[in-house]
Amino acid sequence: MSISNIDGILQNFVSGTADVQGAALVSPDGLPLASTLPGTMDEERTSAMCAAMLSLGERIGKELSRGNVDRILVEGENGYGILMGCGDDAVLLVLASKSAKQGLLMLEIKRAVSEIKVALS
Amino acid sequence: MQMLAHGYLSQYSLAEIFNLIQEGKKNGVLSIEPRDGSIDASKVAQDSTLEIPCYYVSFQGGRVMSIFYGLEYENQDLLAMVLERQWIPLEQIKELKKKLSGLTIPWGLQLKVWEIISVDRLRLLFDIQVLSQLAKIFEISEGKFRFDPHAELNYPEMTGLSLSARNAVLLGLRGLKDWSRLTNKLPAPESRLQRASSELQGSSLENDEQLVWQLALGEMSVLEIAAQLNLEIDKVRQIGFRLCSIGLTHEVAVKPSPPIEIVKPVCVGGGNPNIQISTAFVSKLIGFLKQQKG
Amino acid sequence: MEIMNLVVTGTLGAGKSTFILSASEMQVAAPDKHNTGDEAFFPQDTTASIDFETLQFDEEMAIHIYGTPSQVRFDFMWEILIERAHAYVLLIAAHRPSEFHYARRILNFMNQHAQIPMIIGITHNDCEGAWRPEDIALALGYHNSTKQPPIVAVNTQDRASVAMALITLMEQCL
């Protein structure tokens, strides 16, 4: 799997989407595949947390009969952290500021996910 | 995959070169030196030492990052472009330059994340750097090209925005005004179009292109497709050419052949949850822990 | 980067978080960004806390250490964590015998889900009412010492002691 073009896709997504501050592509077992994250964030740590959050979220989805998890959203006072599956082999994390419009953001994320899926296949 | 290092556009079309770069997910700079009508021939004849300006296309991972037109490859400093448009005062530009230097990410991306430049303005810079140049490049009919895979990434000029080489071909050919030199390369009216894959592979098709692609099942001729969609035959031939150029369809002359099975490469991801830990890892860790104990 | 996932589980008040913190403090020249103080995946005081720390001991090698929540109602998290783990530590507070049956439950659960190297760490040995390690082993159902995993005494606040425990665990991995 070549990652060099994923970097380009992530950068294109972060540069071209209002209110998005960073993005990372992570393997389901918590290893970073590619990332464009704010300088203060550690790629390895972030990746591990994404994987932990995803498995926890999936478990909750199952337990509460919510079916398969489409995305996991963390809304904090400084903004959003959104996790979205990218096929079986990757998870996309998106960091967005508080001013982001959720609907618009989800649309852009979906677009990025479909582009990444193609690049991964 | 073997990469063409240099050659003439008469041998390899730009679309073919871009496709190779996309497939190989290449990094580097492609220079294109026009040798056709776009250069004033009389001037060249008068002065044989006259240097001809080239196009320099920067790729990262098979994606077009920026295009520069000039005598020699130069850094198209984003901050200079910003200053020219008076978006930011000079004082602040100087400060930003200090903060940005040494960063290994596109400067445009960082400026956008810092909320110094809006997405719209960044897109404008990308339009100037890339989109406005693409159509011009695809107008070039004759010339030399050279691909330098060792060229370094030029972060100060990069917006962070990029375009896959495949979509760049699509955009470049869409903007083409003069199709005359390509007439004999367009799919013939009686040949059929056959999809190369059941998926669009990330290509952003326009409405008409999508319609043609949907009918490209190897059964209808270009003529029949044009009739069904109520489009001009020339337009369908041009669309067919674009789709063929980016590898979404191929032209099947006369008789339909059985559909070609596309075997997708098996994804070799790192997503194996049972990654084994090596003995070297454990030994090294024990060594490290023993130091902690003492 | 080669990464080993390590799970630290155990009974209430056995010192899981302290153990994890001590381990992560061994880091060679810890980069600042690792010490942002967000050592808990959720805030420390909440009952649902998953601790998470990294220990990078080589340029290309690190362990990720996950701590399980203590409360029984969070035991679904054990499964999530153990599925990804390469090895685990079960910490037991020696002076809280009422928790031993809970430790046994964790043990059974883990053994069902993963056959991976593990050790038992006994903490609070110096507290009043502390059981002796061999008695704790019996309470956990190890009636035959040849089948039991290594049982070590640990002072979770002492880096050297934590290092010793981890060495014993790593020897299980070889």
Q: What is the mean pLDDT of residues B249-276?
A: 48
Question: Would you call A45 and C50 a contact, using CB atoms and an 8 Å cutoff?
Answer: no
The amino acid at residue A97 is S
Give the residue among A55, A49, B253 at the shortest CA–CA distance from C39. Answer: A49
**From B163, B267, B271, residue closest to A121, measured CB to CB:** B267
Among A99-103, B173-177, B270-274, C88-92, whose mean pLDDT is lowest? B270-274
Question: Would you call B281 and C2 a contact, using CB atoms and an 8 Å cutoff?
Answer: yes
pLDDT for residue C160 is more than 80: yes
At residue B37, the pLDDT reads: 60
The amino acid at residue A108 is E
Hey, what's the torsion of the CAs at C136, C138, C140, C145, to 10 degrees?
100
Fold of A4-120: Beta-Lactamase (3.30.450)
The overall pTM is greater than 0.80: no
Among A57-71, B2-16, B172-186, whose mean pLDDT is lowest? B2-16
At residue C35, the pLDDT reads: 37
Residue B58's CB is within 10 A of a number of other CB atoms, namely: 25
Residue A37's CB is within 10 A of a number of other CB atoms, namely: 21
Dump strand ranges (E) for chain A.
20-26, 32-36, 71-76, 79-85, 91-97
* Helix, strand, coil shares, percent, chain B, to 5: 45, 15, 40
Distance from CA of C33 to the nearest CA of A (A): 6
pLDDT greater at residue A75 or residue C131:
A75
Give the residue among B27, B64, B272, B80 at the shortest CA–CA distance from B164. Answer: B64
User: Which residues lie below 8 Å from residue A18, measured CB to CB, with a gap of 6+?
Assistant: A100, A104, B118, B119
Q: What is the largest CA-CA distance in chain A?
A: 39
Among A114-118, B197-201, C45-49, whose mean pLDDT is lowest? C45-49
At residue B294, the pLDDT reads: 66
pLDDT greater at residue C75 or residue C1:
C1
pLDDT greater at residue B25 or residue A93:
A93
Closest-CA residue of chain A to C38: A45
Q: pLDDT category, B42, cuts 50, 70, 90?
A: low
Q: Hey, which residues 4-23 in chain A have their CB within 8 Å of chain B?
A: 4-9, 11-12, 14-18, 21-22
Q: Which residues of chain C have a CB within 8 Å of the CB of B289?
A: 26, 163-164, 166-167, 170
Q: For the CA atoms of chain A, what is the radius of gyration?
A: 13
At residue C118, the pLDDT reads: 93
Q: pLDDT category, B161, cuts 50, 70, 90?
A: very high
Question: Taking the mean position of all CA atoms in its chain, how far away is CA A62?
Answer: 21
pLDDT for residue A14 is more than 80: yes
> For residue B197, what are the CA distances in angstroms to B146, B209, B213, B262, C74?
31, 15, 10, 6, 47
State the average pLDDT for chain B.
Answer: 81
pLDDT for residue C76 is more than 80: no
Q: pLDDT category, C157, cuts 50, 70, 90?
A: very high
- The token pair that represents B97 in the structure block: 């330059």
**From B25, B112, B273, residue closest to A15, measured CB to CB:** B112
- The answer to whether B144 touches B8, Cβ cutoff 8 Å, is yes
pLDDT for residue B274 is more than 70: no
**From C52, C79, C83, residue closest to A48, measured CB to CB:** C52
Residue A73's CB is within 10 A of a number of other CB atoms, namely: 15
Closest-CA residue of chain A to B106: A11
Q: pLDDT category, C159, cuts 50, 70, 90?
A: very high
Q: pLDDT category, B40, cuts 50, 70, 90?
A: low
Q: How far apart are CA B118 and CA B161, in angstroms?
A: 13
Give the residue among B149, B139, B129, B140 at the shortest CA–CA distance from B30. Answer: B149
The amino acid at residue A70 is D
A56 inside 8 A of chain C by CB: yes
- Going along chain B from its start, the domains and CATH numbers come out as 6-174 (no CATH), 185-252 (1.10.10.10)
- The answer to whether A17 touches A102, Cβ cutoff 8 Å, is no
Question: Would you call A49 and C41 a contact, using CB atoms and an 8 Å cutoff?
Answer: yes
Q: What is the mean pLDDT of residues B135-143?
A: 87
Question: Would you call C163 and B273 a contact, using CB atoms and an 8 Å cutoff?
Answer: no
Question: Would you call C167 and B290 a contact, using CB atoms and an 8 Å cutoff?
Answer: yes
The region, left, alpha or beta by phi > 0 then psi within -120 to 50, assigned to residue B86 is left
At residue C162, the pLDDT reads: 95
At residue B47, the pLDDT reads: 55
Please tell me what DSSP assigns to residue B71.
Answer: S
Most confidently predicted of B4-8, B49-53, B64-68, B262-266: B64-68
Hey, what's the torsion of the CAs at B93, B94, B95, B99, to 10 degrees?
90
Question: Would you call B62 and A121 a contact, using CB atoms and an 8 Å cutoff?
Answer: no
Dump strand ranges (E) for chain B.
6-8, 28-34, 54-60, 63-70, 143-148, 163-164, 192-195, 217-221, 249-252
At residue A12, the pLDDT reads: 94
pLDDT for residue B194 is more than 90: no
Distance from CA of C140 to the nearest CA of B (A): 28
Most confidently predicted of A13-27, B119-133, C50-64: A13-27
pLDDT for residue C47 is more than 50: no
Q: pLDDT category, B73, cuts 50, 70, 90?
A: confident
pLDDT for residue A113 is more than 50: yes
Is CATH 3.40.50.300 what the domain over C2-173 is classified as, yes or no?
Answer: yes
Residue from A42, A54, A74 whose CB has the most chain C CBs within 10 Å, to mutate: A42
Closest-CA residue of chain C to A54: C80
Distance from CA of B183 to the nearest CA of C (A): 53
Q: What is the mean pLDDT of residues C127-156?
A: 84
Give the residue among B21, B63, B32, B33 at the shortest CA–CA distance from B149. Answer: B21
pLDDT greater at residue B68 or residue B1:
B68
